[in-house]
Amino acid sequence: MTFTVFEEPESRHAYVMGVDTAEGLKHGDYSVIQVLDINTGEQAAIWHGHIAPDELAEEVHAVGLYYLDALCCVESNNHGLTTITELRHLGYPNMFRKRSVNKVTNKVSQEFGWKTTRTTKPLLIDDLGMALRNDELKLFDRNTINELKTYVRNERGTMSGSPFDDRVMALALSNQMRQYAFMPEYAPAADDYWTVDWFKNLVLSEKESPSTRIGSKTVRGTV
C-alpha cells in the first residue's frame, strides 16, 4: 500500500476524492483513493493498494479528514457498499449521496456513493475526458497517466484499461465531485471566506503550467 502526497492541504482550498474499491485479494484489482484540489485542478494525493473493503474505509476516513473534510465519493457497486457502510459508522462528515423522490409517496430517499452502470460509467469517463482536453486537471502520478494511456472503448462500447483501470475510475469519480463541491450541503463549515463569491472565484484561479500529451488528450503537469 502506498500513499503519495503531491500537495499538502491548504486552509483556503477545497478538496474532493474519488474511491474505487476492490475485494482486497493480493492478486486482484487494487483499491484507489484520488484527491483533487478543486481550486487548482491539481492531483493532491493518491492512495493505492490491496486492502479489505472495511479496512479501506479507515484509510478513506483518514485521508478525507487530512484534506479538510474532502467531499468523498465511493463507487457503490459490490464491495463499495461495505466501504460506505463503515465510513458512515466512522462518522465521516462529507459523503456524496444521490437523492430521489418517490412519485407516489413524495418521500425523499438518499443513496450514498456513485453506482456505476452502463449509463453512468460513460458519463464519468466522458466528463473526465472533457476535463483533460480542457486542461482542467494537473496530474503528477506517473501510474495514473500510464493507465489513462491504455484506457480504451472497444467496438461494443465497453470501456476498460489494461491491465488495470482502478486509478482512472477513482480519478473519474473525483473529477465528477468537482461540480457537487459547490453545493451548500457539501461545503465546509461557513466562515468569513466560504462564500458563494469565493466558490465562484475558486475555479478561476488556475495557475499556468506546462502540458503533456496523453494519447489524444493533453494533461497539465509533469510526468
Question: What mean pLDDT do residues 85-111 have?
Answer: 86
Contact indicator for 46, 67 with CB cutoff of 8 Å: no
Instruction: Say how far apart CA 195 and CA 125 lie, in whole Å.
Output: 30
The model carries a pTM of 0.79
Contact indicator for 47, 74 with CB cutoff of 8 Å: no
- For the chain, the domain total comes to 1
Beta-carbon-side half-sphere exposure of residue 199 (alpha carbons within 13 Å): 17
Query: C-alpha cell of 40?
Result: 487548482
What integer best gives the mean pLDDT of the chain? 83
pLDDT tens digits for range 40-92:
999 999 999 999 999 999 999 999 999 999 999 999 988 999 999 999 999 99
**Domain CATH number, residue 43:** 3.30.420.240
Closest CA to 50 of 80, 75, 21, 30: 30
Query: C-alpha cell of 77?
Result: 457497486
pLDDT tens digits for range 146-163:
999 887 665 555 555 555
Share of the chain above pLDDT 90, in %: 56
**What three-state secondary structure class fits 165?**
coil
User: Residue length, the chain?
Assistant: 223
Contact indicator for 121, 81 with CB cutoff of 8 Å: no
Question: What mean pLDDT do residues 19-31 have?
Answer: 84
Contact indicator for 96, 186 with CB cutoff of 8 Å: yes
212 vs 55: which has the higher pLDDT: 55
pLDDT tens digits for range 177-196:
999 988 877 866 545 455 55
Contact indicator for 74, 80 with CB cutoff of 8 Å: yes
Query: Among 8-12, 167-171, 205-209, where is mean pLDDT lowest?
Result: 205-209
Host domain of residue 159:
2-220
pLDDT higher than threshold 80 for residue 199: no
What was the pLDDT predicted at 131? 96
